[in-house]
């Protein structure tokens, strides 16, 4: 009797996992396909999303960066800028914006930051589909100027 109760519990859990996996596929994964890109397997959007080009970084302000990219107009819904202090983009923060410009404040002066951008498009049902990341751009945040002490 105990074994059949455990068996029915295990079967119920397995069925629930399959239902959850199917729902995930039905809502998200159908917008993407799994393919080999440049010798590396990754998810690629079925909807074509352009990659923003012309990534520029303005470092004139202290401890902040202003990031800009090319405006893709009505082809995309929004943009995502990703910034990280590491080359491999570990511990990266993503900033989403409707315009191709973002000011990122609160950075440490004199430190290198790695920045990239991607476009986001809406599919016919209104879900967000992300494009590929652009190439990484390196910029150094300007140090805060110490005010000269009066003598």
Q: What would the pLDDT profile of 52-88 be if each residue is shown by its tens digit? A: 999 999 999 999 999 999 999 888 999 999 999 999 9
- What's the pLDDT score for residue 57? 94
- What's the pLDDT score for residue 1? 57
Percent of the chain with pLDDT over 90: 58
Find the helix or strand (DSSP H, E) in which 20 lies.
helix 2-27
Q: What is the distance between the alpha carbons of residues 76 and 52, in angstroms, rounded to a whole number? A: 10
**Local confidence band at 139 (pLDDT 50, 70, 90 cut-offs):** very high
Please give the structure tokens belonging to residue 11.
């079967």
Of 98, 96, 99, 115, which Cα lies nearest the Cα of 58? 115
- What's the pLDDT score for residue 149? 56
Of residues 139 and 28, more confidence is placed in 139
Q: What is the distance between the alpha carbons of residues 118 and 76, in angstroms, rounded to a whole number? A: 10
Q: What is the distance between the alpha carbons of residues 27 and 22, in angstroms, rounded to a whole number? A: 9
- What's the pLDDT score for residue 29? 66
Of residues 113 and 125, more confidence is placed in 113
What the chain holds in terms of domains, given with CATH numbers, is 1-46 (no CATH), 47-140 (2.60.40.10)
User: C-alpha angle with apex 129: 125 to 130, nearest 5 degrees?
Assistant: 170
**Local confidence band at 145 (pLDDT 50, 70, 90 cut-offs):** confident
């Amino acid at each position: 009797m105990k074994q059949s109760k455990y068996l029915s519990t295990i079967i119920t859990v397995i069925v629930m996992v399959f239902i959850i996996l199917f729902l995930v596929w039905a809502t998200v994964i159908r917008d993407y396909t799994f393919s080999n890109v440049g010798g590396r397997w990754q998810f690629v959007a079925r909807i074509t999303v352009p990659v923003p080009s012309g990534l520029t970084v303005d470092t004139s302000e202290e401890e902040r960066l202003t990031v800009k990219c090319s405006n893709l107009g009505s082809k995309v819904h929004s943009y995502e800028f990703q910034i990280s202090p590491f080359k491999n983009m570990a511990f990266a923060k993503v900033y989403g914006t409707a315009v191709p410009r973002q000011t990122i404040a609160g950075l440490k002066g004199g430190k290198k930051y790695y920045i990239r951008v991607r476009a986001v498009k809406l599919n016919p049902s209104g879900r967000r589909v992300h494009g590929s990341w652009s190439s990484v751009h390196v910029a150094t945040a300007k140090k805060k100027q110490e005010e000269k002490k009066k003598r």
